């Protein structure tokens, strides 16, 4: 009886111990899981841990998955595409850009003071008040006639440029500007006469200034290929420096500058170089005259409203 009583007591004690152990182990495991979950959300803390593939893995919980797997941020946004102005296509055939200077005033047909690329008052914005404030227009925004198409008209002013058309096209393609724009510079500056010398010593078709004549073949700054290439490069370099601002760059070709007033434009009128004035009708004549296959100097439709160079005719 005594032996059986002892055996029974030992057996009962063993059962009690085995019943307690799992709860103790579960508590340790919970603490370990908490430690691991804390490490999972601290960047770099567990980068050098040894593999735990041989260890018993705790049963995954929803919250564990949310911590272990980073939330997808989605695909990276596409780079912004360059906005193409609706006015660069056929559209209504009128310049359409943002304006901080009132109505653009563009008209389908060229008139004395307006045309497809805006009214002279808009192109000269601010010049008669606080100073010239050119609006932002890109080359691709403006309306132009194709040079080849222009030459199909027997009355085109560009008939005078026929010998130089291949050169305009070559450098137009090379520098990324319409060929008619380069031809328009020549018409505006010299009426496409390669032998022209300006009142300030400007040379050739494009009336480039003498400091740009370095490297001219045989020292001939009027050489058509050299003259057109030099002017085209100068203009495109200016355009790039101005971040594509066409009006600012066209103005610079004629000596204009932002904040220029009418008084500053005309200050050379009574000097020894009257034609060194800034032609205040320049942008209108260029954009709504020459680029539309219109002769800006034709007296039947005289383009402009200032005509500040007229004072030089009798000098």
Structure tokens at 310: 């007229």
Question: Could you identify the residue written with the tokens 């009962």?
Answer: 12
Other C-beta atoms closer than 10 Å to the C-beta of 153 total 12
Over residues 1-39, the pLDDT tens digits come to: 444 444 444 344 443 434 334 344 443 433 333 333 333
Buried b (16+ CB within 10 A) or exposed e, 121-135: bbbbbbbeeeebbbb
Over residues 133-158, the pLDDT tens digits come to: 999 999 999 999 999 999 999 999 99
Over residues 153-175, the pLDDT tens digits come to: 999 999 999 999 999 999 999 99
The pairs formed by 201-209 with CB atoms below 8 angstroms and a separation of 24 or more are: 203/227, 205/164, 205/231, 206/182, 206/230, 206/231, 208/234
What per-residue confidence (pLDDT) applies to 258?
A: 98
pLDDT band of residue 200 (cuts 50, 70, 90) is: confident
Lowest pLDDT segment from 113-117, 190-194, 241-245, 310-314: 310-314
What per-residue confidence (pLDDT) applies to 151?
A: 98
Per-residue CA distances from 304 to 70, 284, 286 (Å): 66, 7, 10
Computed over every residue of the chain, the mean pLDDT equals 79
How many angstroms separate the CA atoms of 128 and 57, rounded?
A: 82
How many angstroms separate the CA atoms of 201 and 12, rounded?
A: 121
Q: Percent of the chain beyond pLDDT 70? A: 70
Proportion of the chain in helix, strand, coil states, percent, rounded to 5: 45, 0, 50
Q: What is the pTM of this model?
A: 0.69
How many angstroms separate the CA atoms of 294 and 83, rounded?
A: 30
What per-residue confidence (pLDDT) applies to 275?
A: 86
Over residues 272-301, the pLDDT tens digits come to: 889 889 999 999 999 999 999 999 999 899
What per-residue confidence (pLDDT) applies to 314?
A: 80
């Amino acid at each position: 009886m005594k032996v059986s009583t002892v055996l029974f007591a030992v057996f009962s004690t063993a059962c009690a111990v085995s019943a307690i152990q799992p709860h103790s182990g579960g508590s340790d495991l919970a603490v370990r899981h908490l430690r691991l979950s804390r490490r999972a959300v601290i960047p770099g803390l567990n980068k050098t841990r040894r593999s735990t593939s041989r260890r018993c893995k705790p049963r995954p919980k929803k919250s564990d998955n949310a911590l272990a797997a980073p939330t997808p941020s989605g695909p990276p946004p596409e780079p912004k595409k360059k906005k193409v102005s609706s006015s660069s296509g056929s559209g209504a055939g009128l310049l359409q850009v943002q304006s901080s200077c009132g109505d653009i005033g563009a008209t389908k047909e060229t008139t004395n003071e307006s045309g497809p690329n805006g009214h002279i008052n808009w192109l000269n914005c601010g010049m008669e008040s606080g100073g010239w404030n050119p609006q932002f227009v890109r080359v691709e925004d403006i309306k132009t006639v194709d040079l080849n198409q222009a030459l199909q008209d027997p009355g085109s002013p560009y008939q005078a440029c026929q010998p130089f058309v291949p050169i305009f096209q070559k450098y137009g393609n090379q520098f990324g500007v319409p060929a008619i724009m380069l031809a328009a510079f020549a018409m505006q500056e010299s009426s496409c006469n390669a032998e022209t010398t300006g009142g300030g010593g400007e040379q050739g078709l494009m009336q480039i200034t003498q400091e740009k004549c370095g490297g001219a073949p045989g020292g001939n700054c009027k050489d058509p290929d050299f003259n057109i290439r030099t002017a085209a490069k100068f203009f495109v370099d200016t355009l790039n420096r101005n971040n594509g601002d066409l009006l600012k760059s066209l103005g610079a070709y004629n000596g204009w500058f932002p904040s220029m007033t009418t008084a500053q434009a005309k200050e050379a009128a009574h000097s020894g170089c009257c034609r060194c004035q800034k032609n205040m009708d320049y942008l209108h004549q260029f954009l709504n005259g020459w680029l539309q296959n219109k002769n800006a100097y034709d007296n039947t439709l005289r383009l402009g409203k200032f005509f500040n160079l007229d004072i030089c005719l009798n000098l």
